[in-house]
Structure 1
Amino acid sequence: MKTLDSIALGLLIVGGLNWLLVGLFNFDLVAAIFGGQTSILSKIVYIVVGICALYSLKFFPLITNSATHRN
């Protein structure tokens, strides 16, 4: 499970950096690499990153439990 967690985190970072580029420079790196926003490869990347975001929701209880035990 730790490997899957690391992959999800890595893809979330990639997605976050892509959104940073879109916000600051109106440049979509995923679209630039994979042939436009409507290309099948870009859509796959967007979908996988979104699935990783949903998967990562499981970390919220871990974060809140960790913060509660420290105090």
Structure 2
Amino acid sequence: MKWFDNTALTLVIIGAINWLLVGIFRFDLVAFLFGNLSWLSRIIYTIVGLCGLYLISLYGRISNTPGSRS
């Protein structure tokens, strides 16, 4: 399951960089590459959003790992 965590984290980081570009430069990289709200860009936004929701589970898993100081 670690590969899924790493993949989800990578996609969320890419999404965060996209939001940084939107916030600072008003440049949406996903829309630039795949079209403004095309079906492909909507799929990408959905996958990144689902990965973000999945990574909420890290909060519970981080505190339950061996060696953590909770």
Cα deviations by residue, 1:15-61 (Å, 9 ceiling, x for unpaired): 0000000000000000000011x200100000000000011011012
Which of the two has greater helix per residue? 1
Instruction: With the length of structure 2 as denominator, give the TM-score of the two structures.
Output: 0.88
Gaps of 5+ in 2: none
Gaps of 5+ in 1: none
Instruction: With the length of structure 1 as denominator, give the TM-score of the two structures.
Output: 0.87
Q: Distance in 2 between matches of 1:31 and 1:69?
A: 41
Contact 2:62 2:68 in 1 (8 A): no
Would you say how many aligned residue pairs link Structure 1 and Structure 2?
69
The alpha-carbon deviation at position 62 of structure 1 amounts to: 2.7
The alpha-carbon deviation at position 65 of structure 1 amounts to: 4.3
Q: Distance in 2 between matches of 1:69 and 1:56?
A: 18
Aligned identity (percent) is: 51
Partner in structure 1 of residue 61 of structure 2: 62
